[in-house]
Amino acid sequence: MKSSSKPPASKVVRLRDFGTRLLFRDRGIEIRGEIERLLETHTPILVDLDGLEATSPSFVDECLGILLDHIGKDRFKSSIQLNCENEAMRRLVNRVLNNRLAIQAQNVERERAPQ
């Protein structure tokens, strides 16, 4: 999840600063809002998941998956850097983001289908 080809992050959002057990959508909404506010004036942003004891698919989807929906795949890839040393958590994040991308692709296909 670390990428050396991207410029250094101009801001860091350490999820552990919001708690070490981020499990619910309401916390995801709060943190996503903070990231979206930072994106107005800073890029790239490093979202640091290290130090979390636990997270859930619901939290990750609300925080990062819906962020991906809001800003689009290309901007997400260029503006958001993820740091996550925990392998299980990294797999969870990747699964949630890939699910969001699959939903986006299905929606595009549905829009293109003849009525």
**Predicted pLDDT at 36:** 97
Whether residue 115 is contained in a domain is answered as no
Report the distance separating Cα 43 and Cα 53, nearest Å.
27
Whether residue 67 is contained in a domain is answered as yes
Cα within 13 Å of Cα(22), Cβ side: 30
Whether residue 99 is contained in a domain is answered as yes
Whether residue 4 is contained in a domain is answered as no
Q: How many domains would you assign to the chain?
A: 1
Whether residue 86 is contained in a domain is answered as yes
Does the pLDDT of residue 48 top 70, yes or no? yes
Whether residue 16 is contained in a domain is answered as yes
Q: Which residue has the tokens 């901007």?
A: 75
pLDDT tens digit string along 21-35? 999 999 999 999 999
Whether residue 77 is contained in a domain is answered as yes
Whether residue 87 is contained in a domain is answered as yes
Question: Residue 78's domain spans which residues?
Answer: 11-110
User: Rounded mean pLDDT of 40-52?
Assistant: 95
User: Rounded mean pLDDT of 93-98?
Assistant: 97
What would the two tokens of residue 31 be?
Answer: 């943190």
